[in-house]
Amino acid sequence: MLKSKRQRDEAELEDNLEFSPEQIRELKRRVKDLENPVRYVIHSDLLPGGRWRMFLNVSDDTWCDDINTATPFKRPRYARAVIHEYCEGKRDNLFIAKITTKNNRRKVLKYRWSEHRTG
Cα 66 to chain centroid distance, Å, stands at 17
Residue 111: band (very low, low, confident or very high) from pLDDT cuts 50, 70, 90? confident
Q: Look at 104 and 58; give whichever has higher pLDDT.
A: 58
- Tens-digit pLDDT profile for residues 33-54: 888 899 999 998 887 776 788 9
- Tens-digit pLDDT profile for residues 50-66: 678 899 999 988 999 89
Residue 119: band (very low, low, confident or very high) from pLDDT cuts 50, 70, 90? very low
Return the half-sphere exposure (C-beta side, CA atoms, 13 A cut-off) of residue 80: 10
* Residue 55 · residue 69 · CB < 8 Å: yes
* Residue 22 · residue 74 · CB < 8 Å: no
In the chain, the N- to C-terminal Cα span, in Å, equals 72
pTM metric for this prediction: 0.71
